[in-house]
Amino acid sequence: MILAHVTKSNFPSWPWTLAMAVDANAPFLFRRELLIQSTPLYADLAVLLALLVSFVYYVRLCTLVIWDITDFIGIACFSVQKKDSKGAWVKAQEANGKKE
């Protein structure tokens, strides 16, 4: 949420989390049995799946933000690169005139 605020992007919304919340509260809301989280094992798997998807999404968002910041500053990140005479990112050996 902090990263979304700092980058002025929308806070991510996941419809499947709303579906899981409605399913978890189905006995109180609709007087019916649970569908997705019908057993403790399925409930655990649903929570672990939500955690995994959230983690992958957050890592992707952080990586994109870091790339944008380092590109704006003019430095390379996650790799050893330099800008060539045209201003494009190339491998460090190619920028120095040495090619493998």
pTM recorded for the entire structure = 0.60
- C-beta neighbour count of 23 within 10 angstroms: 21
Spans of all domains in the chain: 2-73
Q: What is the mean pLDDT of residues 72-86?
A: 74
DSSP string, 69-83: HHHHHT---SS-EEE
Given this model, what pLDDT does residue 98 score?
A: 57
Higher-pLDDT residue of 48 and 79 is 48
Q: Which residue reads 């005479």 in tokens?
A: 85
Q: Across-strand partners of 82?
A: 90
Residue type, 68: D
* Percentage of residues in the chain having pLDDT higher than 90: 6
Per residue in 50-60, pLDDT tens? 889 888 888 88
- Please check the confidence at residue 41 and state whether its pLDDT lies above 90: yes
